[in-house]
Chain A
Amino acid sequence: MLKAITLLLLFQLIGETIVMLFRLPVPGPVIGMALLFGVLVLRDGASTELRNTAQSLLQHLSLLFVPAGVGVMLHFQRIADEWLPILIALPVSTFATIAVTALVLRGLQREESLE
């Protein structure tokens, strides 16, 4: 548990450092995820300890978004002023993105399995 958490934080730290060093527009943890993925491919998998820690952390992934979500209270005024474009653009665009991505991926997959 302790080792696994240290490892995750270490990869985040390396990610943050790379982002600062090269002024990348991407956040550190995403680079950390890419690096850890690369290491797992090279070393052929994660230890049981790392797998268990990741699973318990990801099981409550929803919880981690709650503090930022409560920040909605800072923007009541703007949302009240522009509620129509916001409340229509968000769901319509999100549903369109899900449908279009799923259709393209499904279509291409079928094509590939037919060949």
Chain B
Amino acid sequence: MNARLNEIWVYLAASPLLGLTLTLLAYQGAVWINRRCNGHPLANPVLIAVLTLVALLWISGTPYPTYFDGAQFVHFLLGPATVALAIPLHAQLGRLRRLAGPLLVALLVGSLTAATSAVFIGRLLGASDATLVSLAPKSVTTPIAMGIAERLGGLPSLTAVLVILTGIFGAVGAQWIYRLMNCRDPAVRGFSLGIASHGIGTARAFQIGEQTGAFAALGMGLNGLLTAVLLPWLMPILMRWMG
């Protein structure tokens, strides 16, 4: 019996089916837990699903690349989903036109705050150069951040992880910050969350509401573009300035 089970395991562990199914199961379990907690920000679906899967892979001794063979089918959908963000964005066209000036100023200030504060705090607490460069693009969406880190001499795969942690921190903490600031405007909430925590913040913003989500998508897209242009130029200045 045990030999037979082992045979089945060896077969399944090597096929993409298992990684894909586990990802979907872990995510739906995480959504279920999130609902049971009345959507409490700490019960973040990405966080719960990632922790569950890491624990499962660790216990079963499965290497990440084997898991990713299956999970890549989900990962692939990030591309078309990013393109699809144009649609809720377009629904806010009227408000976008009226707010263009303030949005652009807030974008510039937010983008600079995101990169500068991360590098500054990291350096203060003794992070290595490679970690600092991987930290700097943490607020922009994973594929852009990885590209930037690679060009500046950071570690792209570490950047991917820092970006996702940033997303989770933003998604978890945003509600408290808005409460503290007494901020209810969906445009302000969404835009700041999209700039600070990219796609995961945007996913959280869509849970709050359609309009919040649209402005988060806008913040995420614009900050991705701006950071890609700004950081290769800003990073050497920051590194020199902090020694």
Contacts and interface: CB of A to CB of B under 8 A. Distances in A.
Interface of A: 5, 8-9, 11-12, 15, 24-30, 32-34, 36-37, 40-41, 45-46, 50-51, 53-55, 57-75, 78-79, 82, 84-86, 88-106, 108-109, 112
A94 B74 contact: no
A108 B144 contact: no
A104 B219 CA distance: 14
Main SS class of interface, B: helix
Interface string B187-208: 1110111011101101110100
A65 B127 CA distance: 26
B87 A67 contact: no
6 contacts: A33-B83, A82-B131, A84-B125, A86-B122, A101-B106, A112-B101
Contacts of B174: 98
A65 to B, nearest CB: 5
A86 B162 contact: yes
A94 B114 CA distance: 7
B87 A82 contact: no
B121 A93 contact: yes
A12 B79 contact: yes
A112 to B, nearest CB: 6
A57 B58 contact: no
Contact of A108 (B93, B106, B110): B106
B54 A29 contact: no
A30 B139 contact: no
Contacts of A85: 121-127, 131
B133 interface: no
Given A68-B75, A82-B128, A58 B109 contact: no
Mostly, the A contact residues are helix
The contact size tier of chain B is 35 or more
Contacts of B225: 26, 30
Contact of A72 (B78, B88, B161): B161
Given A62-B200, A97-B110, A102 B173 contact: no
A115 to B, nearest CB: 11
B144 A71 contact: no
B118 interface: yes
Interface in B163-217: 164-167, 169-170, 173-174, 177-178, 181, 183, 185, 187-189, 191-193, 195-197, 199-200, 202-204, 206, 213
Which one of A24, A57, A71 has the highest number of Cβ atoms from chain B below 10 Å of its Cβ? A71
A63 B197 CA distance: 16
Given A82-B128, A98-B174, A99-B177, A65 B167 contact: yes
Given A30-B82, A57-B77, A93-B118, A66 B27 contact: yes
Interface stretch (B7-15, B44-52, B234-242): B44-52
Contacts of A45: 90
Given A9-B80, A89-B121, 5 more contacts: A11-B83, A58-B88, A89-B135, A106-B185, A109-B99
